[in-house]
Amino acid sequence: MVKQIIKVVLVLTLSTILGTGMVVFSYQWTLPRIIANERMTLLSSLNVIIDKEHYDNDLTNDVRHFVDSDLLGTTEPVMVYRARKNGQPVAAVFNSVAPDGYNGNIYLLIGIYLDGRVAGVRVTAHQETPALGDKIEAKRSPWILGFAGHSLTDPLETGWKVKKDGGIFDQFTGATITPRSVVKAVRNNLVFFQQHRQQIFETPAQ
Amino acid sequence: MPQSITSQYIEITQDALWRKNVGFVQLIGLCPLMAVTSTVINGLGLGIATMLTLIATNTVISLMRGVIPDEVRLPVFVILIAAIVTVIEVFTKAFYYDLYLILGIYIPLIVTNCAVIGRAEAFAFKNPVGQAILDGFMTGMGFTVALVLLGGIRELLGYGTLFSQAELMFGESARVLTVTVFEHYRGFLLAILPPGAFFGLALLIATKNWLDRQASPR
């Protein structure tokens, strides 16, 4: 009886050590590679928005966080990557959120040049309806490319809407809420950028 | 008379691939089967990850079968399966990061795939390591076949393509594998949404049963 109990305890302890050991070992061994992968993926999505010819700083590390639940769409801190060339600010890329998608948050990368023009917008994650709302993805439709070059003065506020609401941006057949939410988020980001331009570039990286 | 090793191996293979296929007959592990099969490549990715898990868990549990007391076998299975799946997740993240981004949550969810603990309990715990490895491989293969077939049906109907995003798994040179079956296809939403998975699986099971009936003597 006692022997049996000791055996059970031993086997449980050993298999826990064995299991944990496997996890710890493989985690330690692959960690540098995983970090490099994550950085590469981030950098390549940032480079889609800001051409790598246009900056020369370490973009993925020149980061600052901002919190503004009204304009950046989330109560969480939003990462802002700052692109510079020869030490001069070029553009900022916001990792912000469109909170009112058809099916929850739409996560966006929004790049804005120093002069307030949109450099580019891409969706990083969303749960919109396949084949309807997912046309906000660049690989499914060129729609999201249409923001590049626009600013708060082009068009004016009334134009920053989908066509159905009197604006200049297309909606999709069968899905208006999704593009409406993205248009609104991009404009809000431009407003935030205008209000905080100095702050965004001046403070050191965090 | 004890069965010869070869006939045992043949029986394991036939059971795992066809007669007791986890996807079509035992209907376990349905959650990932339904959730990730919107394309062939997604199905193949999760299928292979599940197969590796099954081979590893079956091997370890078969090797330890003399040591693990009956009363605590389930907790021990769970610890080992969870550890092995975590290792596979970490490796996918390190070496197939793009695929990891797609399969995401479904890799850790292999832990909850009843096929894994099912094979540990029903087979690996009672059989020598050779048979256990083969059983893990073949069960994983049967599951992969189910995932790929269902993914194929849904991708074909839903997007009009096959093997799209093959480059995520096999590198850039595999981009050419993508077949656009229907040009200018407008898509069939139902096939991609969850109900499409149920309809697709029902059709596959019906086909399998029909084939079995054709083959059996009247």
The answer to which of B7-11, B77-81, B204-208 has the lowest mean pLDDT is B7-11
Query: What mean pLDDT do residues A102-121 have?
Result: 94
* Higher per-residue confidence, A22 vs B104: A22
| Cα angle for residues B114, B6, B116 (degrees, 5° grid) | 10
User: Residue B160 has what pLDDT?
Assistant: 86
Report whether pLDDT(B157) > 70: yes
| Residue A206 near residue A63, CB atoms below 8 Å | yes
Residues of A with CB under 8 A from a CB of B: 4, 7-8, 11-12, 15-16, 18-20, 22-23, 26-27, 30, 33-34, 37-38, 40-41, 129-132
Report whether pLDDT(A36) > 50: yes
Q: What is the pLDDT of residues B89-135, one digit of tens each?
A: 999 899 888 778 877 777 887 888 888 999 999 999 999 999 999 99
User: Residue A68 has what pLDDT?
Assistant: 92
In angstroms, the separation between the Cα of residue B73 and the nearest Cα of chain A is: 9
User: Residue B218 has what pLDDT?
Assistant: 60
Collect all residues with Cβ–Cβ distance below 8 Å to A136 and sequence separation of at least 6. A106, A123, A126, A128, A143, A144, A178, A179, A182
Name the residue of chain B whose CA is nearest to A24's CA.
B87
Mean pLDDT estimate for chain A: 91
Closest to A40 measured CA to CA, from B171, B69, B97, B78: B97
Return the residue in B64, B78, B86, B92 with the most chain A beta carbons within 10 A, the one to mutate for interface testing: B86
Amino acid at position A152, single letter: L
Q: In angstroms, rounded to a whole number, what is the distance separating the alpha carbons of residues B74 and B58?
A: 14
Q: What is the pLDDT of residues A148-169, one digit of tens each?
A: 999 999 899 999 999 999 999 9
Query: What mean pLDDT do residues B168-197 have?
Result: 81
Token readout for A7 is 């055996």
**Cross-chain Cβ contact B80/A15 below 8 Å:** yes
* Higher per-residue confidence, B181 vs A74: A74
For residue A77, whether the previous peptide bond is cis, meaning omega lies within 30 degrees of 0, is: no
User: Residue A206 has what pLDDT?
Assistant: 67
DSSP type of residue A51: -
Every domain of chain A and the residues it spans = 1-49, 52-202
